[in-house]
Structures are given as C-alpha cells and as structure tokens.
C-alpha cells in the first residue's frame, strides 16, 4: 500500500487504533531485524569422528559473543537469541543446527550497527571453529536467512497528527504519554508519512472495550475514529521526516 499501491503518493496520514492504554500515543516505531542462522558441517559419530569441526560449537560461540555487545539504553536497543534446534542423536556430532535471533531499536542507525556487528560475529565464529578443529571431512558453514525486517521511524511530537491525538486524550481528562512501539505504523513513519497509533497508540480517543463498544472514559470507538478522521480532512504534506 505504501510503496507499491496505486495511491501510495496520495497517502498523507495514517492512523492506527488498538491497545488498552487510553493515554498512550505511539509516535516512535521500534524497528527490528530477525535472522535464522543455520550452521552446517560434516557431522559424524561423537567418538569415532571426535576432533572434526562441530557446527554447534560455532553456533554457541556466536551466542556468547553476541551477548558481549554493548548497546545504548537510549535510544533503546535490544537483542535476543531466541529459538534453537538441530542435531540427530546424543552420540552424534550434528551436521546441522539453527538458531533464530532478534534485534530491535528505536533508531535505524543503532539497529544497523547491531545488525552489522551480529553478522560479523557469525562469520568470525564459523572461521574460528574451522581453525580450531579438523576440516578433513568438510568445513562448517553458516546459511544466513533474514526472517524479519521492520523499519524504525518516528513522527515528531510537534506533528499535527500527534498534537491532535494528544488533544483528544486531554479532552477526556487524561495526560498523553508519547511512546515507541512496534506496530503496523512503522512503515509509514519510516517513509515520513505522519502517523500515530492511538489508544495504545494515540488512538485518537481512548481505550476501547470491544465487548460493548465504549471506552472507560465514555467515548465510543466509532466516535473516536470519526473525531480523528475529521481532524485530517485536509491533505498534509510529507514534511515530517523520520529520524
């Protein structure tokens, strides 16, 4: 819709409404990079083939070195080694193992840094294992597969969409809380399209109880949407660039 759709050049504002926090206005998009790394090797019997390279050793070293990375608290940047599988039996050197990794940041520059460092660690771990043990039956290799890519971005607090969402929240007697999150608004924010998710995001109106269609502050979800959409009846230029 935003990059290839017929009307992509005509999108001036994007509003997303979801969540349970009526005062929260999400004007920052937490970007993420995710990988599945499959480490492969010749395998062999744990006794008779002892001394051959082991892809699990390379994978383990990747995790150890990955968790040595220092990342900033602000902008918040995180990483995780999350899913692991592989091997065939307890008495075998595995010929294949894999692990999935997740990296996130509020800032695209910091996300790029941690991603670059991670990939360098993967290559170094493979190289280190091939130097540490015998490769007479073959070397350890890493198959690097991206499995997730969500761009980071932000909409300035001074942007009309954020000010309007905050104004609606203030009208209900609440104090707006600007925040960052990973939502379907990441892409438009990264492209500089003014946007904000409300309710858990600026949901232009307050928490929605879907069981009865009203919010805890007496405003219905439909009324909230109408209020927000009326505020954006005039086209807006894409002049709020992401950071």
pTM of the model: 0.76
3-state secondary structure of 130: helix
Q: Which of 5-19, 22-36, 59-73, 179-193 has the lowest mean pLDDT?
A: 5-19
Neighbour order of strands in the sheet with 141-150:
77-86, 96-105, 31-40, 141-150
DSSP-assigned beta bridge partners for residue 177 = 24
The model's pLDDT over 190-229, given as tens digits with 9 standing for 90+, comes to: 777 765 555 443 333 333 333 334 444 444 444 555 555 4
Give the pLDDT confidence score for residue 149 in this predicted structure: 93
Instruction: Kindly tell me the number of DSSP H helices and DSSP E strands found in the chain.
Output: 5, 13
Residue 173: DSSP 8-state = T
- Bridging pattern class, strands 96-105 and 77-86: antiparallel
- C-alpha 154/C-alpha 45 separation (Å) is 53
Q: Is the pLDDT of residue 122 over 80?
A: yes
Indicate the pLDDT class of residue 116, thresholds 50, 70 and 90: very high
Give the pLDDT confidence score for residue 141 in this predicted structure: 98
In the chain the beta strands, taken as DSSP E runs, fall at 14-18, 24-29, 31-40, 44-45, 77-86, 92-93, 96-105, 141-150, 153-154, 177-181, 195-199, 208-209, 214-215
- C-alpha 3/C-alpha 20 separation (Å) is 30
Give the pLDDT confidence score for residue 69 in this predicted structure: 98
Q: Which residues contact 23 (CB under 8 A, 6 or more apart)?
A: 169, 174, 175, 176, 177
The model's pLDDT over 2-14, given as tens digits with 9 standing for 90+, comes to: 676 777 676 667 7
The model's pLDDT over 72-106, given as tens digits with 9 standing for 90+, comes to: 999 999 999 999 999 999 999 999 999 999 999 99
Give the pLDDT confidence score for residue 156 in this predicted structure: 82
């Amino acid at each position: 819709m935003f990059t290839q759709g017929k009307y992509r050049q005509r999108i001036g504002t994007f509003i997303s409404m979801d969540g349970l926090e009526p005062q929260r206005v999400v004007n920052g998009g937490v970007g993420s990079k995710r990988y599945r790394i499959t480490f492969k090797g010749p395998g062999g019997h744990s006794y008779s083939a002892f001394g051959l390279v082991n892809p699990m050793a390379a994978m383990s070293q990747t995790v150890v070195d990955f968790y040595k990375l220092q990342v900033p608290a602000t902008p918040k940047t995180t990483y995780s080694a999350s899913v692991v599988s592989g091997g065939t039996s307890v008495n075998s050197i595995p010929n294949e193992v894999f692990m999935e990794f997740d990296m996130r940041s509020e800032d695209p520059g910091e996300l790029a840094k941690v991603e670059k460092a991670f990939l360098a660690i993967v290559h170094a771990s493979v190289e280190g294992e091939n130097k540490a043990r015998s490769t007479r039956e073959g070397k350890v290799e890493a198959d690097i597969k991206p499995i997730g890519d969500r761009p980071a971005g932000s909409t300035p607090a001074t942007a009309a969409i954020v000010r309007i969402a905050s104004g609606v929240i203030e009208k209900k007697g609440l104090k707006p809380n600007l925040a960052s999150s990973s939502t379907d608004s990441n892409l438009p924010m990264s492209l500089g399209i003014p946007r904000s998710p409300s309710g858990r995001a600026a949901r232009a109106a307050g928490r929605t109880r879907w069981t009865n269609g009203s919010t805890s502050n007496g405003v219905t979800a439909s009324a909230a949407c109408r209020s927000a959409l009326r505020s954006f009846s005039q086209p807006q230029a894409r002049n709020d660039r992401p950071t």
